[in-house]
Amino acid sequence: MDRYEKALALWQRKQVKTDAELAEALNGHSISFAYHSGNLENERITYNDTREIFDHDGVTSYTGDLRTLFEIRNAKDANELFLQAFHDKRSLDESLVKEFQKRLTLNTCDTRRCQLGERPGEYKHHDYVTGKNEIGAAPEDVADEMNELLDELHDIPTDKLLRAAAYYHVKFENIHPFADGNGRTGRLTMNYFLVMNGHPPITIHQEDRKDYYAALEAWDERQELAPMEAFLRAQTVKTWEKQIERSERSAQRDDPTF
């Protein structure tokens, strides 16, 4: 059993059924995920500020800009939606994706985009693209492409879940369905898909952004999925490394051959 398989087995052993059990299983993961996911695109987001807002709903001695503060607070709201949606056993459909994006981007729309009619929780109305290859579906095609992508996530075999998550993420970012918040929404909804299917959520660590963007570009340029699947596999291990190590130490103590 390799370390990814150990992470998967440890998560599935928890047998998470309720939102309270999910919150307990995640423990500090929600804060770590929110920090890393936000920092990937906004380096002004700090772990300490994120932890304070998640734990105390506020920060002390904050000297940053207001948009950054809203982004962190929005991440907490989106985490609460994550737990509530899990409790309600909501499927990952168009309405839930839009709701996650709205929670993540509320009160952060820049003036120009607002003047152009862009609103949180709505697909983009204008032709926004991203990355060095300037990828992104045309606004009039977004709804069809998103519905097609979400339809592909049904009835995935357990041994194909990570590959399906990788496919969902690269396709989501390639479609670039919103005017803002696509990266944060794509990462959070990918985790929701994983958790709803009995797999551990993944933190994509900000220090690994170069490999992350390279995996996204591999799909954009050559439709290669293997780099993202391998990246997510490694990030799963990194996310749950401490739990894996505790489990290994426990196994050593219980095994008389050690």
Q: pLDDT tens across 165-214, in order?
A: 999 999 999 999 999 999 999 999 999 999 999 999 999 999 999 999 99
Region of poorest pLDDT, from 11-15, 43-47, 76-80, 111-115: 111-115
Torsion of CA 44, 47, 48, 51, to 10 degrees: 120
Lookup: tokens for 35: 């920090």
For the chain, give every domain's residue range: 3-251
Q: Contact, 78 vs 103, CB < 8 A?
A: yes
Q: Is the model's pLDDT at 106 over the cut of 70? A: yes
Whole-number pLDDT of residue 255 = 59
Instruction: Name the one residue in this structure whose structure tokens are 């998967």.
Output: 8
Burial class (CB in 10 A: 0-12, 13-18, 19+), 31: buried
CATH 1.10.3290.10 for the 3-251 domain, yes or no: yes
Residue from 145, 165, 132 nearest 235 by CA: 165
Identify which of 45, 95, 97 has the alpha carbon closest to the alpha carbon of residue 73. Answer: 45
pLDDT at 257 over 60: no
pLDDT band for position 253 (cuts 50, 70, 90): confident
* pLDDT digit string, tens, across residues 3-41: 999 999 999 999 999 999 999 999 889 999 999 999 999
37 Ramachandran zone, left/alpha/beta (phi>0; psi -120 to 50): alpha
